[in-house]
């Protein structure tokens, strides 16, 4: 695989992975109380439960027409990407 093809495939995979996420906030955030003389509560960051899609990337053989050296078209078998995405189930 050439570098441009790989980078395009990686970019597309990342875009699909981030748009297919199901994010649910599981805890509210809270700012810490601050006292100049005495330390206050440490505060609390919000929690999130993130269910990301399961992405399987592999290759499969596919026949495509490619130019021959003498510019005659002939069919060759090459490997092309095969992407399988399983989105998280809605609860």
Q: Could you tell me which residue, 64 or 5, shows the higher pLDDT?
A: 64
* Separation between Cα atoms, residue 85 and residue 13, nearest integer Å: 9
pLDDT tens digits, one per residue of 27-86: 888 877 766 554 555 667 788 888 888 888 888 899 999 877 766 778 999 998 888 888
* Separation between Cα atoms, residue 83 and residue 42, nearest integer Å: 45
Q: Answer yes or no: is 36 within a domain.
A: yes
What pLDDT is recorded for position 77?
92
Domain extent at residue 50: 3-86
- The pTM of the full predicted model, rounded to 2 decimals, is 0.24
pLDDT tens digits, one per residue of 32-46: 776 655 455 566 778
Q: Answer yes or no: is 79 within a domain.
A: yes
Q: Answer yes or no: is 91 within a domain.
A: no
Using CA of residue 67, residue 68, residue 72, residue 76, what is the dihedral sign? negative
What pLDDT is recorded for position 41?
58
What pLDDT is recorded for position 27?
83
Question: Dihedral of the CA atoms 13, 18, 22, 28 (nearest 10)?
Answer: 160
What 8-state DSSP symbol labels residue 53? -
What pLDDT is recorded for position 18?
63
Domain count, the chain: 1
């Amino acid at each position: 695989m050439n570098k441009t093809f790989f980078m395009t495939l990686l970019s597309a995979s990342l875009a699909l992975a981030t748009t297919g996420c199901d994010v649910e906030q599981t805890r509210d955030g809270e700012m810490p109380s601050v006292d100049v003389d005495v330390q206050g509560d440490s505060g609390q960051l919000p929690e999130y439960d993130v269910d990301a899609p399961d992405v399987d990337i592999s290759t499969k053989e596919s026949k495509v027409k490619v130019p021959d050296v003498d510019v005659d078209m002939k069919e060759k078998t090459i490997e092309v990407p095969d992407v399988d995405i399983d989105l998280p189930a809605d609860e």
